[in-house]
Copies of this chain bind each other. A is one copy, B any other.
């Protein structure tokens, strides 16, 4: 289950925790949705199922994106960077990627005066996503 294709195993440099960084991007619009981590098992599952699965560092377990919220990510393309320590997941995001109910986790923009302004509105109430 956690076997990777040999070419991938060779290309990816997992860190001392056995993790590699993953950037998720909406495949057609180009929006950067989120950044998370994968281990061999989550990556193998993602490739097998076509549904993105990360590794949750805080929970110490597989994080099948959207399992609770329904906001899944379908894998469209997987790319590996030049030094093999980052992945780019081109995905088709159902609904919102962020647990705050926003499309992307990157919704805080640094303004000229150094303050933060919100660039994305909440599309779905987190209460709806995660139950009351």
* Interface residues in chain A, defined as those with a beta carbon under 8 Å from any beta carbon in chain B: 4-8, 11, 21, 23, 25, 29-32, 34-35, 47, 77-83, 85-86, 88, 98-100, 102, 105-110, 113-116, 119
Contact among B6, B23, B119 with A35 in the assembled complex (CB-CB below 8 Å): B23
Identical chains in the assembly: 2
Q: Are A108 and B32 in contact (CB under 8 A)?
A: no
In angstroms, how far is the closest chain B Cβ from the Cβ of A98? 5
Which residues of the other chain, B, contact A31 by a CB distance below 8 angstroms? 30
**Residues of B close to A102: CB separation below 8 A:** 82
Separation in Å of the A108 CB from the closest CB of chain B? Answer: 4
Please tell me if the beta carbons of B86 and A35 are within 8 angstroms of each other in the complex. Answer: yes
